[in-house]
A and B are shown apart, each in its own frame.
Chain A
Amino acid sequence: MSTVARATGPSRGYWTGFVIVVAALAAAPFVLPEFWQRFATEILIWGLFAMSSDILIGYTGMVSFGHSAFFGLGMYGAAAALLAVRPPNLWLAMLVGLVAAAIVAAFVAFFSTRLRDIYFSITTLVFSQIFYVIIFTWTDVTGGENGLTFRQPPLGIPGLFTIPFTRNGLHWFVLGVVVVSYLVLRRITQSPFGMVLQSIRENEPRTRAIGYHVERYKIVSVMLSGLFAGLSGVLYAIQNKFAAPDFVLFLISGEAVIFNVMGGIGTLVGPVAGAAFFLLMKEVFSRVFYEYYLIPVGVIFTLMVIFVPQGLLGAWRRQLNR
């Protein structure tokens, strides 16, 4: 039912809404209590992770269950840089995290894109489990089950300034990275390259028939998606100052799929809204229903799939992609 977005410019209303949402997120530290402020920052990070998986799920039509590997490798790459270099350097951590995620994404993409549909999903799941087992058991390097803990790097530009992150500062930094990532991904999905990805999603044999090298596009799509998932892993490491193998487990990939379904696939911002909705729902329900909180979460998810299959923002998909 989905259609390739028309390459018309976005409306003024869209940009007005965009500015209002970003301004509200930027103002969040001033109005939210300390815990919820930190939680909002975490939601932004998971939102970026969800957005990255939307490139595959929503735009290329490939459901990946290996996204946790990209997130985790970004996280461990950043951790390695923060532990190896004194004093810890933010930009180096980001660079190493992104390179680690990109290498893994290239490796996974090379093998998994030869397959389609459920076979692609299973292959990505297998790869993420392989990386999980390696990280879990290679204790000397990765810390094994205990993971790695490290100090938060300061924000700085060499030669100009260096200041430690405050809680507000970290929120704005994460918000800046997420907004820039969104704009970049939006530009990519609306470019001719993005149109080819959507064409693959709609009809892969026809895309191939008109002369596009589908496998190459798929590889780049996985790599692009993996790169931004890695970036979210880096941000998570910087915020929380630890890396753990649990983040490489396929369950994290499953959460990315849930974020997409709840928020609206193929919209980029939908998965961010889905992540926020899902995480808030879990946090609030766990305070009300205690250890039974997953039951109402599951019921609501099921009801959403039945009654709002397009997700929270799915109805505005066409407008959001203009």
Chain B
Amino acid sequence: MKLTEKWHDELWARDMWWSGKTTRRKFLGLSAAAAGAVGATMLVPAPWREAFGQAKPYKVGVLQPLTGAAAAGGKTALVGTQLATNRINKAGGINGRPIELVVADYESKPDVGRRKAEKLVVEDKVDVGEGGYLSNVCLACMPVFEEHKTVYMIGVCLDTTITTSKCNRYTFRPFDYAPSQAMAISPYLVKNLGKKWHIVFLDYAWGQSTRDAYIEQIKKNGGEIQGTTGIPLGTADMTAFISKITGSFDGLFAIMFGANAVTFTNQAYDLGLFKKAKYAGDGAVAESTHLAALGNKIEGFVGVNRYIPVLTKPLDTPYHKKFFDESKVLLKQMDPAGPDPDRYVQSNFEAMNFLKLGIQKSGFRGREDSMKLIEALEGMEVKESDDFPQGDKLLRREDHQAFLRQFIFDIKNVRHRLLDVVSRDKVVVPPACSFPKA
């Protein structure tokens, strides 16, 4: 069954929600339970009654593209949110209150995203917002959450400006961004793969800002940039662009994601580009969810990512094993091929857990306590645990940007293989944000 806004119909969510079918046995059971509950409520002292009365769910508004160009990624990202919610609710909720997800499909369009964000805060009256996949939609929705004084915990959007020039006090990014990734892998590229690099990037905002970050870091580490090639997003036949990649260089660095990455890798391989230069790039080129589509053409690729689905040291923890196994179950319900979890699952899972900790710490009751929640989240440090299987993290106070360790990996036998771990303190970029006055 595919994931939908009716996610509570999914197998894994059935024990969280009423199934919609009432049998006589269920009816009698529920009636007895209800009668017992009413009786118990009458017997318990008033303060306790009040406490029980507050057990209404926390409403979390989740924005994801479930249709349109980014649907596949959006559905994968939603798995992380749902997994975290399952766990929180099974453990009794937060401060005794369960989480209720209100999922909105923004059709991969910014205007729809903005309208849905408005619907979540105005009509559904959610307590906090979570999710987002496409950066342009996140940027379009951020002012809506800010206007309604609602905390927005982003789940995937990677555009640098979200926590720099366009930052706001209500938005948090609990995962990495391009400047950190560039700092992590550039020394490895120059030291182990070669000094001369050619960068191929998707020619739009994210690709361009990421390209600039890599150029800066490769040069800083003693490397050279022989040239750059921009390819328009969604180009089906990239051979004209790939043919222009000439000259002498040691490695080709790709800044791509999704179907574009699959197209580029396939066509560059067929044109023999990887025979003359080593192939490296952003981790999104080789996400586990589309490794099967790349086959052996991605063999030997070296990349950087905040999350890779391997269970070797230091990711051989029980926390990661549990996250990995539970994610696989949910992903298999979405895609019968049963892909491994990727960074989209991981970051949404951890985004929900940041919200959980923030709510616990601040005593957040609802949107009227947003500022308390913000203050609780600002500067929050978390340790590797069940809630954060990727590793330790700092959610920086100044710009609401998280810093975390990075993994350098290659692809061997169509699977990720961990090569190096870059610690969190080596990927810290100075803050470049000044929050507008609320």
Contact = CB atoms under 8 A, between A and B. Distances in A.
Interface in B153-207: 159, 161, 166, 203-206
A145 B143 contact: no
Interface in A15-45: 33-35, 38-39, 42
Nearest to A239: B114
Contacts of B105: 286, 290-291
A236 B25 CA distance: 55
A291 B66 contact: yes
A92 B423 CA distance: 51
A290 B205 contact: no
A144 B115 contact: no
A319 interface: no
A38 to B, nearest CB: 6
B331 interface: no
B326 to A, nearest CB: 24
Interface string B87-112: 00000000000000000010101110
Interface stretch (B133-141, B300-308, B382-390, B398-406): B133-141
A186 interface: no
A244 B122 CA distance: 23
B232 interface: yes
A277 interface: no
Contacts of B266: none
Contacts of B119: 35
B360 interface: no
| Residue with the highest number of chain A CB atoms closer than 10 Å, among B6, B143, B230 | B143
A137 B211 CA distance: 14
B118 interface: yes
A118 interface: no
Given A146-B159, A242-B114, A137 B204 contact: yes
Given A144-B205, A149-B139, A291-B67, A244 B118 contact: no
Contacts of A42: 115
B165 to A, nearest CB: 10
A115 interface: no
Contacts of A290: 4-6, 66, 105
Interface in B1-44: 2, 4-6
A127 to B, nearest CB: 17
B66 A147 contact: no
Interface string A127-163: 0000001001101000111110100000000000000
Interface in B341-377: none
A246 B5 CA distance: 24
Q: Interface residues of B toward A: which range?
A: 35 or more
Contact of B143 (A144, A242, A244, A294): A242
A302 interface: no
A246 B109 contact: yes
Nearest to A242: B140
Given A145-B206, A149-B143, A246 B118 contact: no
A247 interface: yes
Contacts of A136: 204, 232-233
B110 A291 contact: no
B118 A38 contact: yes
A149 B166 contact: yes
A191 interface: no
A137 B203 CA distance: 6
B208 A144 contact: yes
Contacts of B209: 139
A144 B209 CA distance: 11
B71 interface: yes
Given A145-B206, A146-B205, A291-B71, A246 B136 contact: yes
Contacts of B237: none
Interface string A233-252: 00000001110101100000
A244 B204 contact: no
Contacts of B118: 35, 38
B115 A39 contact: yes
B123 interface: yes
Contacts of A147: 110, 136, 139-140
A240 B205 CA distance: 21
Nearest to B71: A291
Contacts of B135: 145-146
Nearest to A249: B109
A244 B140 contact: yes
A244 B123 contact: no
Nearest to A279: B115
Nearest to B204: A145
Nearest to B203: A137
Nearest to B161: A146
B136 A244 contact: yes
Interface of A: 33-35, 38-39, 42, 133, 136-137, 139, 143-147, 149, 240-242, 244, 246-247, 286, 290-291, 294
7 contacts: A39-B115, A137-B203, A139-B204, A144-B208, A146-B161, A242-B110, A291-B5
Interface of B: 2, 4-6, 66-67, 71, 105, 107, 109-111, 114-115, 118-119, 122-123, 135-136, 139-140, 142-143, 159, 161, 166, 203-206, 208-209, 230, 232-233
